[in-house]
Amino acid sequence: MLIKKPSDIKPSEITPESVYRNRREFMVDGSKLLFGAMAGTGLPALASAQNGDRLKARAPASMQRPAPAPWWVDKFSNIKPAPDAEPFFTGESLTPYQDVTRYNNFYEFGMDKGDPSANSGAFKPDPWSVQITGEVAKPGTYHLEDILKPVDLEERIYRLRCVEAWSMVIPWIGFPLADLIKRFEPTANARYVEFETLVDRNSMPGVTSRFAIVDWPYREGLRMDEAMNPLTMMVVGLYGNYLPSQNGAPMRLIVPWKYGFKSIKSIVKINFRQTQPNTTWNDLQANEYGFFANVNPGVHHPRWRQDMERRLPQTLFSRQHIETRLFNGYGEHVAHLYDGMDLARYY
């Protein structure tokens, strides 16, 4: 089965260097609001000129959007740029913005790679709330604004490796998941973190499709030490801009040493558990999609090898196949999490 498939919380083409380093302001395109309904408000540009110079990458001018609310402008006008060294920067060529936003899996919008981009126009990720439950001192339902107010956004350029053996290099905007977890004050019983994606039958046509194979909602989970690792990131944007609906707006997870299906999109619930949660793909086909889902070239998918990957974009005349690295190249920072584990068994 191939995947196509708390009140006191305090927060294409690769853009040419001449554009993303020298651009002095964002162009506002009121006719193409990312969240829809804010045209004509005269909101300021997404980011200051100074910040615009410092970020490694920007969305193409034609794809830039005004913010859905003033507080979003404030958050996106002071993004810490990616450093010039691993692990938060790869030095590799970025995957073009158009490919990042038009080639991806988000089954709630359809099974094909282009369906999320084509079918997410009715999706409205504002307002947005996240429910916090389970083994925490501060459970509740929190508006995204309250979650993000104390957050300092930063740019990180990570490799993304899909279990289908294709890969990208993406400039994400977000903050460490660990910073968010600490504010909810997990108890000693919290050993796992479980996530759920929104299910909206009105704006997500894949949910009601007769071809759907997922038992909604989409669910994923991490062990607590994985969730607290500095590499694990809550993402609210990419290419210096707001996260598009098809890429998991308004907030998603990125775990760069794991296959992409672990990086759950459009999160509406975070549950802290003592026991390992069930996860969507592991429930569907456990022998193909393990709970840990660490990128591992030595453990092949039952129907294809995992030691090579197709780095996107690719055309008929330009195809780039590269060797896959254990933990997607992040082993120095995460291998200790699995000391003593048989990675062929706990895949």
Q: What is the pLDDT of residues 72-90, one digit of tens each?
A: 788 888 999 999 999 999 9
253 part of a folded domain:
yes
Residue 67 to residues 4, 36, 50, 98, 301, Cα–Cα distance (Å): 31, 10, 18, 20, 41
CB 264 within 8 A of CB 293: no
170 part of a folded domain:
yes
Residue 18's pLDDT is: 35
Shortest CA distance to 332 belongs to which of 191, 259, 229, 227?
229
List the domain range (segments joined by +) for residue 322: 95-338
Residue 65's pLDDT is: 67
226 part of a folded domain:
yes
How many structural domains does the chain have? 1
Q: How far apart are CA 289 and CA 134, in angstroms?
A: 26
Q: Which amino acid is at 275?
A: T
CB 126 within 8 A of CB 114: no
CB 5 within 8 A of CB 115: no
56 part of a folded domain:
no
74 part of a folded domain:
no
Model confidence over 111-125: pLDDT tens digits?
Answer: 999 999 999 999 999
Q: How far apart are CA 205 and CA 115, in angstroms?
A: 10
CB 262 within 8 A of CB 255: yes
Model confidence over 13-48: pLDDT tens digits?
Answer: 333 333 333 332 333 233 333 333 333 323 334 444
267 part of a folded domain:
yes
149 part of a folded domain:
yes
Q: How far apart are CA 109 and CA 120, in angstroms?
A: 6
Give me the mean pLDDT over the 326-334 stretch. 98
pLDDT category of residue 10 using cuts at 50, 70 and 90: very low
Residue 28's pLDDT is: 29
CATH number, residue 150:
3.90.420.10
Peptide bond between residue 150 and the one before it cis (omega within 30 degrees of 0): no
Where is pLDDT greater, at 66 or 179?
Answer: 179
pTM: 0.85
Residue 5's pLDDT is: 41
Model confidence over 236-258: pLDDT tens digits?
Answer: 999 999 999 999 999 999 999 99
Q: How far apart are CA 97 and CA 58, in angstroms?
A: 9
212 part of a folded domain:
yes
Element (H, E) at 254: strand 252-254
Peptide bond between residue 313 and the one before it cis (omega within 30 degrees of 0): yes
Query: Residue 304 carries which DSSP code?
Result: B
Q: How far apart are CA 246 and CA 75, in angstroms?
A: 21
Q: How far apart are CA 76 and CA 46, in angstroms?
A: 6
